[in-house]
Structure 1
Amino acid sequence: MRVFVAALLSLLIAVPAVAQDVPIGKLPSGTTPTAYRLDLTVDPEQERFTGHAEIDVTLDKDTPGLFLHGRGLKVTRAFARVGNRTVAATYKEVNTTLGVVRLDFASALPAGKAVLLFDYDAPFGEGPAGLYRVKVGDIHYAWTQFQSIDARAAFPGFDEPGFKTPFTVSLTTPANLVAVSNGEETGTTRQGRLVRHRYATTEKLPTYLVAFAVGQFDVVSGQVPPTPQRAKPLPLRILATKGQGPKLDYALKETPRIVELLEHYFDSPFPFSKLDQIASPVMGGAMENAGAVIYDDSLLVLGGDAPVRRKQGFGMVVAHELAHQWFGDLVTPAWWDDIWLNESFANWMGYFIADKWRPELNIQVGAIEEALAAMNTDALAVGRPIRQPITDSGEIDSAFDAITYGKGGQVVDMIANYMGEDAFRKGVHIHMKRYARGNATGEDFFRSLSEGAGDPRLVQAMRGFVEQQGVPVVAVRPSGESASVSQKRYAALGAEGVPATQWTIPFCATRGDTKSCTLVDKPAMTAAARGSGPVMPNAGGRGYYRFDLPEAEWTALIARGPHLPAGEALAATDSLWASFRAGGASPAQLVQAAKTLAAHSDSNVAIDGGERLSDLRARGLISGDALKAYPALMASIYVPRLKEIGFDPRRGSQSGDDPDRQAYRNALVALAADDARDPATRAALEKAAKAFMAGDDAALDASFLRTALRVHVEEGGLAAAQALYARATASQDAVFRSAALGAVAASGNVDTARWLLGKVDDAALRSTERVAIVGAMAGPATTQPLALDWLKTNLDRLVKDSNLTTIGQVMSIPGRLCSVEDADTVRTLLQPKVKAVGRGQLTLDRAVERVRACGQLKAARGAEINAAILAR
């Protein structure tokens, strides 16, 4: 081969790349990037941006050509520099879906160091992927979203997490714009109407953590004071689109405490030289870019009088993203199959730290609710384990789902709880010190934990949950101060081909105030259950498993429900409902549990049963006379409780209440208005909404905004919907826009739905809003067919500008149907679309299974459900 290459060195034509299939996963070995220098000109008012990229590489051997990444870039010049010699290159995008590029050199590059250079331009994305722009009011702004494989849409490179290099960035922008990147700005140079911004060279980063933001941002500045782990103040800024500056003080005030708590936990300073937190109106989540974290507006732009749920969201998500600055940015996965470790750990840490940040907001219980929701996904036959081998980059998106976040976070919590906080934290410290500024795998983390715990059985337990799909269900038969327990994989009615699976389960039970723990590592064995009273087989609700009990034990546990800790009460309700879906517990027990647990002091528990019954109604599992009787049942449970705590929709009416009481009232109002159809509640909301729409902002507290606008549109029909839509699209308030557009889309009014589908291409709508509108329209049975008919011919339009968050939302839209026939129809209609866009297969498969499982449950137990509602 070397003879063949040598014979071509004198030719002034491009040498073909090595004979090799175009890679769809990892790039071939042999080329290692060691540094990037990026110089981009970004004017958000233009349709395209320009760039010059230089990449220092090390070549293992003489190289006639190589593969790298670039998607949709118009490269006008590509060449390599070896010492003082310049070598021309031919740049060709050989896989346009995944953005794989072949670079062929006019003469082979010798082994050793080289520099790859590119001049190019490219279009801005219109949705939150790559380097994208959004028009807010009359002004365009630009942000980046590179995870997982979208950095290649902004610059050529080696777009894999295993390559960590320093980045030196400069951005040339119109002079009146703020420009942000990962490093601190070190200087500017005026170039006519433009300014070139230079930034400090970053720590070693993978491409997906590089970030830019350019626009007429409002900026508030502060600092995180020194801590025992950090001698100097940490510069801190919060940025949002023009006009939102007054709502940034909450984030500026509260972020330092979260940083301090994280530094204390990791016992190391914030890993980067500054922290910018940047709001984007279409992000749909948040992204942990090193030192330049980007959030959806709704998470970051909020005042001190924001509803409890929004403050909870701020605390948890900010703690999650800033935990990533250590666990993900400082230590990065070697490849995407270990991204679970990033997200699972950060999800656990988000709740853990946020609870310490503001205990009164009751954030920690949200981790259990998220885990229980993940169990519904994990229980499907179609799915994946937490750790998923990825060989095709098109499959990466599927790793960012409820399994990674909800299940993974709960598995981390279960192991941390069983190990003890100190031992677990010791393992984390070992891991961070060993792999700082490098890459690590899941196996590396297991070894670090094992050293911290001193008990390899716990690591084996965690490995079992990470590497196996499914939810364990533990059948518990109490006897004295012990219990016979047996484990199997949970399966709902009608499930087929469920494999036999065994876990090592950190099983902890409580009886009264006594907690007993046993590692259940056999299909059947005896576990400790000391104490007196009913057995609660999941202490604190912190175990990632479900349980089942004999009927008498269920009755006793439900009766004790109002006195259980919140996590245990939520886990008990979930396991009861899971037993029902598997053919066990009766619908009458579900109704009784909802009535009994409505007396619980925690708002999440008190309304959990009602929300689950509401889902039965929404999915069409309640029908006929039972559907007519359903509002009266819900009214009998929840309206008296709303009257007891009082309800005034005016702004500030809840300011004297503690946060959980506020959250409870908000949830009760929704149940009373939507499910109980309580005339008094609906009348109060409609009156407040009309006054609000007439200009009286004080008439409606933000906590009730979403429910009140929904009632307003339901009562007012098409005219009310059109007026609200017009006000929403003219507003730059992310929370109001979301609530208003959601109210219009979910009205259930067929005339409104037809009109709204005609507005999907309205330039005033953002890409994420289009997805949300179609999804909301697919909820009510009356408008569901219209939404799905539209989707089958327009799915590719919604997917075009989607990111990790919205791709899952698009493919999940059909999942609200409920029949075996509908499952087959969804598959037939959407499978060709999924194949065409090359993304979303797992999400569609799950949606189809959910539709089929719902239909099977309805056929098997629908009559029982209706009887239980009628017997209220």
Structure 2
Amino acid sequence: MAVLTAQAQRLSTKVLPSHYTLALTPDLHAATFHGEETIDITLAQPATAITLNAIEIRFGTVSVIAGGQTLPGTVSLNEKDQQATLAFPSTVPAGQAHLKISYDGILNNELHGFYLSKSDKRNYAVTQLEATDARRAFPSFDEPAMKATFDISLSVDKGDNVISNTNVVSDTPQGAEKHTITFARTPKMSTYLVAFLVGDFECQTGSADGIPIRACATPDKLGQLQFAVKTAEFVLHYYDTYFGIKYPMPKLDMIGIPDFEAGAMENFGAITYRETAILIDPQTATEGQKAQVAAVIAHEMAHQWFGDMVTMQWWDNLWLNEGFATWLEHKPVNALNSEWNIPQAAAEELDGALNYDAGRVTRTIRSKADTPDEINQQGDELSYGKAGGVLAMVENYIGEETFRQGVHNYLQAHMFGNATAEDFWNAQTANSHKPVDKIMESLIAQPGVPLLEFSVAAGGKTEVRQQRFYLSSSMKDTTGETWTLPVCFKTAGAPTCELLGAKSTSTLNVPAAPYLFANAAAKGYYRTVYAPADYARLVAHAETGLTAPERIVMLDNQWALVRAGKVKVGDFLDLVTAIGKDQDSGVQASALGSVGSIRERIADDADRDKLASWIRTTYLPLYETLGVPSPSDSPDKKQLRAQLFGLLGGAKDEAIITQSRELVGEFMKDPTSVDPTLFQAATAVAATNGDAAFYEHVLQASKNTQNPQMSEQALHLLAYFKDPELVTRTLDYATSGQVRNQDSWILLAIELQKRMSRVQTWQYVQQNWDKVKAQFTTASGAYVVGSTGAFCDATHRDEVKSFFASHPVPSSNRSLQRAVDQINDCIELHDSQEANLKNWLATNVP
């Protein structure tokens, strides 16, 4: 008879679950839980053993009911593969069967599985099961395609409540101290989307399209939930309309959790959040924080349809879930508040993805993901940013309504089931009658960024040469890769899109226009090079002819070409100077971010002083034109003022530094007297120039748990102080266990990325490795490893390689490779562009 075990770390498809009955009893004081579980399964053939997933589970009694008999089972564990094999004394016949399992588990402090989250007053028991951690909460067939329905009940202390995926159907007393809360049966869903949360959560309520909506948090945060409720009401109605399919669950809960590693998690009907990703204090929140919270809510709600209702077949297609939600979140948030300049934010996100993908080593969007370690490394910039950018480009090519109908068709065809990426793009191809499949396949199956080089436009045509683009002057394209791409040209009216074939050289029609711009609407997933005359005309028309997102794309493109050794840094600074009066905060953020990189990666100390002088001369007039803050200022004007304030403070403008201290003092007396966006910039300037007394004030503010946004901001500010003794205090604090491990790595990362504290921090990390490592969660160790990529010399590069070779961090091999590559790229950039920067400064800065 067959033994239905796993192949490698994948489970056998000869046994499939259809339903789970879960009864859990957590003990929040002992940090343990007990579970009673029945799994209804179907066996394709008779078997004497069945393998499922389990880790950190202590099995009690196990049995199977099948063929009219009950067979006791024994359990053997494979910890490496996170599996348990249940063996039975005689054959279990093919067909329907019921596994009955009694077990115990731990409420861990690792922020995954069923874990403890702690406020100042008490413990909470919460779940984070993506990607492969349902097996820590209940023995399960923990693969996304093995969908089942769930009946869930929890027995908890009398004063506690429970939130799960569906609505409560009963609440029954169990003696004097306990009660059992039972939830409605779920639709078919994947194990990683199950959620249950235990504590004294309190909620704000609302509704949209007949669906009850709650935003919940610890009791002291109840007043900061209204923004989330109103946002979710707007987004749910927007998505009901967009998808043409009603929200698929009976209710929507959103829960802020004190300890939470990710930004948020799309559990079906019970979305969980880091507190800063859902809570908003209307008196102190910046416009940027409001936009960010709205974006996170919109992202997770998009998953309720795309990811939860219809789920990827396997983790190698995680990119489709995350890329789709990353792309779609912009639509409802922009509709909610167009003054948040979401198209500009999308253009900046696209640049981040292009830069990530243009490294020396990247991967295909869809790549091998067999083990938990490989699966955990899928959630990178490629799965989110590149995938989202590719989808945006396809939508721009075939049209918004055509694309929306293709999404509807795909969801309708696979409702409550699983699907592949091919299913999605075939639906779009069939609906649009355009070669979406060829475009998607060329971008999904090949790594890297296309570089399109345009010859002089003449006679209504231009020749286009394509090759792979690298952010390194020493890397040459030897791959021969070519892509099928839609290229959209700017015109006075609607863009004109041409399809570029997968050939090294092609000829495209170009519209009659005073200048050539081949990235209309800023949606193209590629870099561009124009002939000198065409580029000059483009720059001359940039302020009057291009939209703000298009200007961002142009700036980001040119800075990427500098990094690749194709453009001189002085020529790029000429472009920045030319748009120096641009009053769009997104455009200036792009320009100033690159100026900051020049200051950090290319300039020596003398050059930095000259750059600071140029910044003061160039940007102080723009800052002064904005005038004093007014309640009537637009969000964009507030953001631009804050950006310029921070820029000038960093350029050592004494008046700005003095004003930063004054603004902090005013805020301490009356938080409503200072614009929150400007205050955020002022505190950064004040901390950068701050002493031990101000450090102590910021430290105490970081411990204020009443306002998570303000607390997080203050915590991050600790890493801005320059005094080496204060840097040591910050590092000691970050590794003391007093900082939540969801946050401690951020302080280490900031200190590693800052030029003034980088060497000191790296020495500290090496000398205090056990303390540092003790703070890592499943993902954060890789973030710290990646932050060492801020170095720009061969000595530290070799130290980083050597140290992490002997002190390996789980799920960080890609992060380490990227860090080493970034250091090499920085060394190249400095060596190739330093002389040009000195020449430009000598000519342009008196």
| Class of the TM-score when normalised by the shorter of the 2 chains | over 0.9
Q: Which residue of 1 aligns with 2:39?
A: 55
Q: Report the CA distance between 1:235 and its aligned residue.
A: 0.6
Q: Output aligned runs, 1:622-637, within 5 Å.
A: 622-637=603-618
Given the alignment, which residue of 656, 672, 689 partners 1:715? 689
C-alpha contact 2:556 2:590 (8 A) present in aligned 1: no
> How many residues align structurally?
837
- The CA deviation string for residues 123-156 of structure 1, in whole angstroms up to 9 with x for no partner, is 2232432122222222222321111111111111
Given the alignment, which residue of 198, 203, 216 partners 1:214? 198
Q: Output aligned runs, 1:560-709, within 5 Å.
A: 560-563=541-544, 564-618=546-600, 620-647=601-628, 653-674=629-650, 676-693=651-668, 696-698=670-672, 700-709=674-683
Q: Which residue of 1 aligns with 2:454?
A: 476
What letter corresponds to residue 348 of structure 1 in structure 2?
A: W
Q: Report the CA distance between 1:334 and its aligned residue.
A: 0.7
C-alpha contact 1:483 1:529 (8 A) present in aligned 2: yes
Q: Which residue of 2 aligns with 1:201?
A: 185
C-alpha contact 1:286 1:294 (8 A) present in aligned 2: yes
> Does residue 285 of structure 2 align to residue 309 of structure 1?
no
> Does residue 492 of structure 2 align to residue 488 of structure 1?
no
Given the alignment, which residue of 826, 829, 834 partners 1:854? 826
Q: Which range is displaced more, 117-126 or 697-706?
A: 697-706
Matched position secondary structure for 1:814: helix
Q: Report the CA distance between 1:596 and its aligned residue.
A: 2.0
Q: Report the CA distance between 1:431 and its aligned residue.
A: 0.7
Alpha-carbon spacing, 1:57–1:476, altered in 2? closer, same or farther (3 Å): same
Q: Report the CA distance between 1:43 and its aligned residue.
A: 4.2
Q: Report the CA distance between 1:793 and its aligned residue.
A: 6.3
Alpha-carbon spacing, 1:659–1:617, altered in 2? closer, same or farther (3 Å): same
Q: Which residue of 2 aligns with 1:435?
A: 414
- The CA deviation string for residues 610-629 of structure 1, in whole angstroms up to 9 with x for no partner, is 111112323x4210321111
Q: Which residue of 2 aligns with 1:557?
A: 538
Alpha-carbon spacing, 1:754–1:26, altered in 2? closer, same or farther (3 Å): same
Separation in 2, partners of 1:459, 1:498: 26
> Does residue 223 of structure 2 align to residue 249 of structure 1?
no
Alpha-carbon spacing, 1:486–1:366, altered in 2? closer, same or farther (3 Å): same
Separation in 2, partners of 1:737, 1:809: 21
> Does residue 356 of structure 2 align to residue 373 of structure 1?
no
- The CA deviation string for residues 212-234 of structure 1, in whole angstroms up to 9 with x for no partner, is 1222222111211x3xxxxxx10
C-alpha contact 1:818 1:854 (8 A) present in aligned 2: yes
Matched position secondary structure for 2:444: helix
Alpha-carbon spacing, 1:580–1:427, altered in 2? closer, same or farther (3 Å): same
C-alpha contact 1:796 1:833 (8 A) present in aligned 2: no
Q: Which residue of 2 aligns with 1:864?
A: 836
What letter corresponds to residue 294 of structure 2 in structure 1?
A: G
Q: Which residue of 1 aligns with 2:479?
A: 499
Matched position secondary structure for 2:345: helix
C-alpha contact 2:753 2:788 (8 A) present in aligned 1: no
Separation in 1, partners of 2:630, 2:160: 40
Q: Report the CA distance between 1:62 and its aligned residue.
A: 2.1
Given the alignment, which residue of 80, 93, 100 partners 1:110? 93
Q: Output aligned runs, 1:748-787, within 5 Å.
A: 748-787=722-761
Separation in 1, partners of 2:622, 2:165: 50
Q: CA RMSD in A?
A: 2.2
- The CA deviation string for residues 465-514 of structure 1, in whole angstroms up to 9 with x for no partner, is 11111100101123233222111100221226752210011011215546
Q: Report the CA distance between 1:635 and its aligned residue.
A: 1.6
Matched position secondary structure for 2:535: helix
> Does residue 281 of structure 2 align to residue 281 of structure 1?
no
Alpha-carbon spacing, 1:700–1:118, altered in 2? closer, same or farther (3 Å): farther
TM normalised by structure 1 equals: 0.92
Q: Report the CA distance between 1:554 and its aligned residue.
A: 2.5
Separation in 2, partners of 1:430, 1:368: 28
Alpha-carbon spacing, 1:868–1:109, altered in 2? closer, same or farther (3 Å): farther
C-alpha contact 1:49 1:123 (8 A) present in aligned 2: yes
Given the alignment, which residue of 160, 173, 176 partners 2:156? 173
Separation in 1, partners of 2:659, 2:282: 25
Q: Which residue of 2 aligns with 1:518?
A: 498
Matched position secondary structure for 1:289: coil
Separation in 2, partners of 1:793, 1:294: 36
Q: Output aligned runs, 1:227-246, within 5 Å.
A: 233-246=210-223
Separation in 2, partners of 1:772, 1:126: 18
What letter corresponds to residue 350 of structure 1 in structure 2?
A: E
Q: Report the CA distance between 1:660 and its aligned residue.
A: 1.5
Alpha-carbon spacing, 1:511–1:808, altered in 2? closer, same or farther (3 Å): farther
Separation in 2, partners of 1:249, 1:202: 27
- The CA deviation string for residues 79-115 of structure 1, in whole angstroms up to 9 with x for no partner, is 323255332223333124x522233233332222222
Q: Output aligned runs, 1:90-101, within 5 Å.
A: 90-96=74-80, 99-101=82-84
Q: Report the CA distance between 1:801 and its aligned residue.
A: 7.4
Structure 2 unmatched runs, 5+: none
Separation in 2, partners of 1:86, 1:386: 47
Separation in 2, partners of 1:71, 1:303: 40
C-alpha contact 1:506 1:517 (8 A) present in aligned 2: yes
What letter corresponds to residue 380 of structure 2 in structure 1?
A: D
C-alpha contact 1:129 1:801 (8 A) present in aligned 2: no
- The CA deviation string for residues 674-694 of structure 1, in whole angstroms up to 9 with x for no partner, is 2x222222211112224545x
Separation in 1, partners of 2:478, 2:155: 57
What letter corresponds to residue 823 of structure 2 in structure 1?
A: V
Q: Report the CA distance between 1:250 and its aligned residue.
A: 1.4
Q: Report the CA distance between 1:416 and its aligned residue.
A: 0.9
- The CA deviation string for residues 757-806 of structure 1, in whole angstroms up to 9 with x for no partner, is 22234343111111111111112223212322343466687677766763
Q: Which residue of 1 aligns with 2:138?
A: 155
Alpha-carbon spacing, 1:796–1:55, altered in 2? closer, same or farther (3 Å): farther
Q: Report the CA distance between 1:243 and its aligned residue.
A: 1.1
Alpha-carbon spacing, 1:633–1:334, altered in 2? closer, same or farther (3 Å): same
Separation in 1, partners of 2:539, 2:800: 38
Structure 1 unmatched runs, 5+: 6-16, 227-232, 648-652
Q: Which residue of 2 aligns with 1:544?
A: 525
Separation in 2, partners of 1:726, 1:366: 33
Q: Report the CA distance between 1:745 and its aligned residue.
A: 1.7
Q: Which residue of 1 aligns with 2:318?
A: 339
C-alpha contact 2:110 2:778 (8 A) present in aligned 1: no
Matched position secondary structure for 1:616: helix
Matched position secondary structure for 1:483: strand
Matched position secondary structure for 1:518: strand
Matched position secondary structure for 2:292: helix
What letter corresponds to residue 399 of structure 2 in structure 1?
A: G
- The CA deviation string for residues 525-557 of structure 1, in whole angstroms up to 9 with x for no partner, is 221222232211211111111101233333332
Separation in 1, partners of 2:204, 2:504: 58
What letter corresponds to residue 552 of structure 1 in structure 2?
A: A
What letter corresponds to residue 414 of structure 1 in structure 2?
A: M
Separation in 2, partners of 1:803, 1:426: 41
Separation in 2, partners of 1:566, 1:806: 35
Separation in 1, partners of 2:29, 2:617: 56
C-alpha contact 2:464 2:505 (8 A) present in aligned 1: yes
Q: Report the CA distance between 1:349 and its aligned residue.
A: 0.8
Separation in 2, partners of 1:507, 1:795: 49
Q: Which residue of 2 aligns with 1:788?
A: 762
Q: Output aligned runs, 1:357-436, within 5 Å.
A: 357-436=336-415
